[in-house]
Structure 1
Amino acid sequence: MKEHDLALDAAAFAERQRRFEEDLIDAYDEELEMEVDDRIIDGADGLTAEAREARKHYFRELFRLQGELVKLQDWIVHTGHRLVVIFEGRDAAGKGGAIKRITQRLNPRVCRVAALPAPNNRERTQWYFQRYTQHLPAGGEMVLFDRSWYNRAGVERVMNFCSDAEYEEFFRSVPEFEKMLARSGIQIVKYWFSITDEEQEIRFQNRILDPLKQWKLSPMDLESRRRWEAYTQAKEVMLHRSHIPEAPWWVVQAVDKKRARLNCIHHLLSQVPYHEIDHPPVALPDRVYNTEYIRQPVPASMIVPEIY
């Protein structure tokens, strides 16, 4: 009887191990699916040996850094830390891709993304920073701003959506606003993703040709391409006038998407004094069986057809 039980335990363990490995492979597949658009195909034979090795290195480092992000998340929850990370840059600079890799393994209740649309008529009459403040983190949270209040220094300036007076008032206010947030205990990390003129053109052309990416192109994006130099000038002014010790700017070289993601995550981790938080071991409780319970069948009309 004991040998039989041991055999059953071994079989159950092997099955659990197989399912665990399957789940792990599924996670890898998810990463691969996200990376399909970044592949460099070398003729009909696919990736070169050098490209394959670089790809393996990228995934190894990405998974390692994402593990550190989980530790950072635990530390933020444990300490009640409040963290704001701002992502700015030209259209197609890779901000969204970096944000996806940061948030991919994290709890969305702890790590939130704020990507605000253009202000509505009511919001245009509010204090400029008002619609952003409601997205600031509470204790134990981190918020990633996919574009932020620096819209006024960038797109609003270039596209003439704000007056000269509003523009100047922004630069008078934003250092004090961020100093106030820092004094209240909110840590601010600001990233500018930098790409070249040539790289943005290539990425825009790829979006035009790829039906799965065409939705990313808006009339505003196309107009921003025409006004490249105006955006450059606005960016230079922004970095100069809002780079303060309490909330400094950091420039991510983003022509190579993969390196930009790894460098950004590595740097972000270096900005927070986190450490691994010990957790008590987790024990799965035994399932409770009730002999009086009879499971009811699900009507066939409610079952999703198994097409695949």
Structure 2
Amino acid sequence: MPKKNGHGAGSDKLKRKIYEKELRELQVELCRLQDWIKVSGERVVIVLEGRDAAGKGGAIKALTERVSPRVFRVVALPAPSDRDKSQMYIQRYVERFPAGGEIVIFDRSWYNRAGVEYVMGFCTPEQHQRFLDICPVFEKFVTEGGLRLIKIWLEVGQEEQDRRFRARIEDPVRQWKLSPMDIESYSRWYDYSRARDLMFRHTDTEHAPWHIVHSDDKKRARLNVIAHILSQIPYKKVDRAKVKLPSRSSKRAYDDRSSIADRRYVAEKF
């Protein structure tokens, strides 16, 4: 993969042609990983967190667009219902953990409590502290039970986040991405920074470490996310039997074109 000078994207943006070539190669490896996951019965959870506009959605799309949704499941939970709030905090996330032969990608996760819920006052300081104390214990329990847990934080710079928010305001096809919560978070940059650092201090452990991906350059970030995930799982290429299409039988031949000739067709405008 092409290397970048320095730690932010700067002007050294990855060219689209190079990005598409590298992405194609990584997506081939993801398909091989998928085959191995199904054969081995492994269970994998990928947690993708980061600031608003850090590029989580684009990274997940690049990660999943060439694989089966039956193996790679994306979980993006809505705000908790009254029933959810009456449960153990982490319960609704555990319910969506993978069975054997599955990878579950959390587009935001139980770490909401360490980030948006804490910063925006949706949980009490006591609930926040209890989460920080218990989370490493919970993650040790699930990893010792055989589940692979990969935690990735997408870190976008202040200027780049500002540029992306303004682009969303101006572009009609991106405006849906800009929620009232995003607007509120924009003014609380440093509160989120403190919450992030506190979360890392408590939950960056040997059994479930955090890995940070700089995402000012979205293309580089997507490639680095996929490459990191592939590096964390000891998959092997699974041999597939070569598929050969059978001959079409002409027995009971049928003119299927004339049978639908008089049906309603979509007007061809393009």
Query: What TM-score, normalized by structure 2, do the two folds share?
Result: 0.91
Match for 1:146 among 95, 103, 107?
A: 107
Residue number in structure 1 paired with 2:220: 259
Matches of 1:56 and 1:294, distance apart in 2: 45
Q: Give 1:144's aligned amino acid.
A: I
* Superposition deviation, residue 294 in structure 1: 5.9
Residue number in structure 1 paired with 2:17: 56
Change (3 A) 1:214 1:80: same
Q: Give 2:116's aligned amino acid.
A: V
Matches of 2:194 and 2:264, distance apart in 1: 58
Q: Give 2:110's aligned amino acid.
A: W
Matched, 1:307 2:269: yes
Matches within 5 A, 1:177-216: 177-216=138-177
Change (3 A) 1:212 1:54: same
Residue number in structure 1 paired with 2:183: 222
* Superposition deviation, residue 272 in structure 1: 0.5
Matched, 1:240 2:205: no
Q: Give 2:46's aligned amino acid.
A: V
Change (3 A) 1:102 1:224: same
Matches of 1:115 and 1:53, distance apart in 2: 29
Matches of 1:292 and 1:123, distance apart in 2: 57
Residue number in structure 1 paired with 2:53: 92
Q: Give 1:236's aligned amino acid.
A: D
* Superposition deviation, residue 114 in structure 1: 0.4
Matched, 1:231 2:176: no
* Superposition deviation, residue 166 in structure 1: 0.9
Residue number in structure 1 paired with 2:133: 172
* Superposition deviation, residue 133 in structure 1: 1.1
The structure with higher relative contact order (CA 8 Å, sep 6+) is 2
Task: Report percent identity of matched pairs.
Answer: 50
**Considering only aligned residues, what root-mean-square deviation do their CA atoms show, in Å?**
1.8
* Superposition deviation, residue 230 in structure 1: 0.5
SS in 2 for 1:302: coil
Matches of 2:180 and 2:255, distance apart in 1: 59
Residue number in structure 2 paired with 1:137: 98
Change (3 A) 1:166 1:52: closer
Residue number in structure 2 paired with 1:36: none
SS in 1 for 2:153: strand
Residue number in structure 2 paired with 1:11: none
Q: Give 1:184's aligned amino acid.
A: G
* Superposition deviation, residue 245 in structure 1: 1.4
Contact preservation (8 Å) 2:133, 2:202: no
Residue number in structure 2 paired with 1:279: 240
* Superposition deviation, residue 164 in structure 1: 1.2
Matches of 1:304 and 1:178, distance apart in 2: 52
Change (3 A) 1:53 1:229: closer
Query: What TM-score, normalized by structure 1, do the two folds share?
Result: 0.80
Change (3 A) 1:76 1:209: same
Matches of 1:128 and 1:248, distance apart in 2: 21
Matches within 5 A, 1:100-111: 100-111=61-72
- Structure 1: gaps of 5 or more residues: 1-49
* Superposition deviation, residue 152 in structure 1: 0.3
Change (3 A) 1:189 1:299: same
Contact preservation (8 Å) 2:155, 2:214: yes
Larger Rg over CA atoms: 1
- How many residues align? The count is 259
> CA offsets, 1:218-266, max 9 Å, x none?
1100000011110000000011101111111000011111111111111
Matches of 2:154 and 2:128, distance apart in 1: 22
Residue number in structure 2 paired with 1:71: 32
